[in-house]
Chain A
Amino acid sequence: MEAFREALRLVFSFDKELWQIIGVTMRMSLTSTTISCLLGIPLGVLFGSTNFRGKTMLMRVLHTLMGLPPVVAGLFVFLLLSRSGPLGSLRLLFTVEAMIIAQCVLITPIVAGLSSSIVGATAPALLEKAKGLHLSRKTILKLLLAENKITLISVVLTGFGRAISEVGAVSLVGGNIMFKTRVMTTAIMLETNKGNFEFAIALGILLLLIAFIINYAVSFFRKDGTVLR
């Protein structure tokens, strides 16, 4: 109860640092979800609707990457961007961009894997029909997307959920720097480490609220079906 009150107090105090943290969190998770979906959904559609040599192996790799531990993704990007790493000269370590890169490494396989399963389930029947009707490739693609619209939106939301709730990778490559790379999850971790348990749980409640609002907004799109046309 105390935590709920603290959460409310936090929201209405309009604390500058808190809003800055929420801002970075949204910028990071929305950008990484967008990039991951732009990469992952086309890949997933391709894998789900076509057959080629080595596809089984590729899918196995993809499904393994779906379970990639965030810390490993973070470590990989850390070593890549480290001063002594191959991309060290870009000076990207401990920036929001680095966090976005790490999240894309993490989320793209999830989006690709899930959407390939979804498309794969409906593609054969649809392709059969399309063959009979002599539909163009473009129309087939449109039909595939339209048919799986609702489940694909769930995939996007899953990606976003992963992005906003992830802590291991972003803490490693972002560094949890105040007023720069601190996001909700790393702030929660820090407050927990400081022993401010109420404040930490209040931040947690706030994080859930934001996630809820976004899910709610998306559910409107689902009903009238204006998305992905």
Chain B
Amino acid sequence: MKKLLCVGLSLLLVLSLFAGCEQKPETPTGTTVNKPANPVLRCSTTTSVNDSKLMAMLEPLFEAETGYDLQITSNGTGAAIKLGETGDADVILVHAKASEEEFIANGFGIKRIPFMFNFFVIVGPKDDPAGVKGSASAADALKKISEKGSKLVSRGDDSGTHKKELALWKAAGIEPKAETDKWYISAGKGMGDCLNMANESGAYVLTDKGTYLSMKANLENLEIVLNESDDMKNTYSLIACNPEKNAGLNTEGANAFIEWMTKKETLDKIAEFGISQYGEALFFVE
């Protein structure tokens, strides 16, 4: 009996080796695509793009149309850019203008191509303890939060959203210190994690609208307390990494991806993304 079990289990193990090896399904239209010479394309992007599930929608379409195998890694913008510097990404999709310009100035990127934007919003507890609703600007709202000493979750991870938050504090003329200001929760985590934390601990948090809307159903204690003010625009860009800095980059693939992402049909899809599910678009195109 035991022997039989042993044989059965080992057979299962061996079979499981082949489980991943089946043929890739054909493209939905049935047409065969000419596979590019170097099909693996590595895209490094930020958690806010990935958490909103935009890429999950675009990836299969891109792959079916071009034959590339798009491999997306998502980190905070700091690390997303770093992967471009170390040669571990062929193309980056990020949202921190100053860092992007530095990336290009240092020769790691070829050209910054802004192609979509959305807005940062401040979300917070429904009873709005700091009275943020109706603030004229985001800086003004942060001022109120700090004066009240209401809890605020900060990304604290050098991400584009974190950098935006720091710029807003600067504009407000305040410099919160995580060590002494107990209300300032520097989480060092991705956007989704920070939203969950704010939801759990009754805190405010600066977020891109897309990620918030895509997670809204699970964030029952939160709502938008400051919507789309002028100082809250959030621009996303694509940058192909420079093959002169790192060997073995798939520049052809990077260019194909950028071309595909910025063509009208794709931009239309981006602009429509989320409308049916959330009642409004998560991203706008230039």
Given A176-B187, A177-B185, does the pair A94, B79 have CB atoms closer than 8 Å? no
Q: Please tell me if the beta carbons of B185 and A194 are within 8 angstroms of each other in the complex.
A: no
Query: Which of the residues B75, B187, B190, B200 comes within 8 Å of A177, measured between beta carbons?
Result: B187
- B156 CB-CB contact with A under 8 Å: yes
- B189 CB-CB contact with A under 8 Å: yes
- B179 CB-CB contact with A under 8 Å: yes
| Interface SS, A side | loop
- A190 CB-CB contact with B under 8 Å: yes
Nearest opposing residue in chain A for B185, CB measure: A177
Q: Please tell me if the beta carbons of B186 and A195 are within 8 angstroms of each other in the complex.
A: no
**Which chain A residues lie closer than 8 Å to B156 at the CB level?**
178, 190
How many chain B residues touch A (Cβ–Cβ < 8 Å)?
A: 26
Given A190-B157, A193-B75, A193-B79, does the pair A176, B200 have CB atoms closer than 8 Å? no
Q: Please tell me if the beta carbons of B188 and A190 are within 8 angstroms of each other in the complex.
A: yes
Measured CB to CB, the closest approach of chain B to A154, in angstroms, equals 30
Nearest opposing residue in chain B for A187, CB measure: B188
Count of chain A to chain B residue pairs whose CB atoms are closer than 8 Å in the complex: 67
Given A186-B188, A193-B157, A194-B157, does the pair A179, B79 have CB atoms closer than 8 Å? no
Query: Which of the residues A82, A83, A178 comes within 8 Å of B188, measured between beta carbons?
Result: A178
Q: Please tell me if the beta carbons of A194 and B201 are within 8 angstroms of each other in the complex.
A: no
**Contact count band on A:** 20 to 34
Q: Please tell me if the beta carbons of B178 and A195 are within 8 angstroms of each other in the complex.
A: no
- A93 CB-CB contact with B under 8 Å: yes
**What mask results when residues 63 to 80 of chain B are scored 1 for a CB within 8 Å of chain A, else 0?**
000000000000110111
Query: Which of the residues A17, A93, A194 comes within 8 Å of B79, measured between beta carbons?
Result: A194
Cα separation A148 to B257 with both chains bound (whole Å): 63
- A192 CB-CB contact with B under 8 Å: yes
- A175 CB-CB contact with B under 8 Å: yes
| CB under 8 Å from chain B, chain A span 146-194 | 171, 175-180, 182, 186-187, 190, 192-194
Cα separation A44 to B265 with both chains bound (whole Å): 64
**What mask results when residues 47 to 64 of chain B are scored 1 for a CB within 8 Å of chain A, else 0?**
000000000000000000
Cα separation A93 to B76 with both chains bound (whole Å): 24
**Which chain B residues lie closer than 8 Å to A193 at the CB level?**
75-76, 78-79, 157, 188, 190
Q: Please tell me if the beta carbons of A82 and B200 are within 8 angstroms of each other in the complex.
A: yes
Q: Please tell me if the beta carbons of A195 and B200 are within 8 angstroms of each other in the complex.
A: no
Q: Please tell me if the beta carbons of A194 and B178 are within 8 angstroms of each other in the complex.
A: no
- B97 CB-CB contact with A under 8 Å: no
Q: Please tell me if the beta carbons of A83 and B187 are within 8 angstroms of each other in the complex.
A: no
Measured CB to CB, the closest approach of chain A to B160, in angstroms, equals 12
A-contacting residues of B (Cβ < 8 Å)?
75-76, 78-83, 85-86, 156-158, 178-179, 185-190, 193, 197, 200-201, 221
- 11 pairs of residues in contact across A and B, judged by CB atoms under 8 Å: A93-B201, A94-B200, A176-B189, A177-B188, A178-B178, A179-B179, A186-B188, A190-B156, A193-B76, A193-B190, A194-B79
20 more CB-based (< 8 A) A-B contacts, given A94-B197, A195-B81: A16-B179, A82-B200, A93-B200, A94-B185, A171-B189, A176-B188, A176-B189, A178-B178, A178-B179, A178-B188, A179-B186, A186-B188, A187-B188, A190-B157, A193-B157, A193-B190, A195-B82, A195-B85, A195-B158, A197-B82
